[in-house]
Homo-oligomer: A and B are copies of this chain.
Amino acid sequence: MKHRLYEEVARLTKALASPRRLELLEVLAQGERSVEAVAQATGLSVANASQHLQVLREARLVEGRKQGLFVHYRLAGDDVANLLTTVTRVAERRLAEVDRLIRKYRDQGDEFEPVGRRDLLARVRSGEVVVLDVRPEEEYRAGHIPGALSVPLAVLDRRLRAIPRKAEIVAYCRGPFCLLADDAVRLARARGRRARRLEDGFPEWRAAGLPVETEDPRPEGGYR
């Protein structure tokens, strides 16, 4: 009956699996607080805070105590505070590791130089690279590099999983001074991918007389 325990552990980790609730716990780690005080401290709406607190209570990570109009919540025990610091420490270590990797790559030299326009087309065709258009979708529809997928920054993290790990990612946006592609590259690298930005952007591509696609041959992106 090992499953029973896994279920229980998962109930607990599920309650922890939300940045909001982690923040709530952090607040409660400082001491007992009313719902409103918690909401204030975290910037959540009162109703939302209340619901999150109930999730935490069902997982027995916090306890509530009603006194007059107020319900005072607090951590359910020292082991909860411990758990919180343990999991945070592991996350910090992982994060530091990622940073270290990135720095190492960056120092390695031209592996992470921006990509030139000339190289790109052939490498897209060969499947060696995946080109991401990280501009808003309307701009993509109005014209984009052939074979590029429309992946606005907001959905990149989610879509990343659907892109083969071995492919190198090349992101582009509106031009050399637009930062969208830089953000995309940073995120992709943080997830362990090889990623570069196109040295300039789509306007320059078009201006150079290179081919442009206006219909999307794989709607929502061939990958997912």
List chain A positions with a Cβ less than 8 A from chain B: 2-3, 5-14, 16-19, 22-23, 26, 54, 58-60, 76-77, 79-80, 82-83, 86-95, 97-98, 161, 191-192
Contact A79 B58 (CB under 8 A): no
A57 CB to closest chain B CB (Å) equals 8
Chain A residues touching B, majority SS: helix
Contacts of A6 in B (CB 8 A): 19, 22-23, 26
Extra inter-chain contacts (5) besides given A5-B92, A14-B17, A77-B93, CB under 8 Å: A8-B92, A10-B16, A10-B18, A60-B192, A76-B94
Contact A12 B91 (CB under 8 A): yes
Task: Kindly state the separation between the CA atoms of A33 and B172 in the bound complex, as whole angstroms.
Answer: 39
**Given A10-B19, A191-B58, A192-B58, A86–B83 Cβ distance below 8 Å?**
yes
Contacts of A76 in B (CB 8 A): 94
Task: Kindly state the separation between the CA atoms of A158 and B31 in the bound complex, as whole angstroms.
Answer: 30
Contacts of A13 in B (CB 8 A): 13, 16-17, 22, 87
A-B contact pairs, 24 of them (CB 8 A): A5-B92, A5-B95, A6-B23, A6-B26, A8-B91, A9-B87, A10-B16, A10-B18, A10-B22, A11-B91, A12-B91, A13-B13, A13-B87, A16-B16, A17-B17, A58-B191, A60-B94, A60-B97, A60-B98, A60-B192, A76-B94, A82-B86, A83-B86, A87-B87
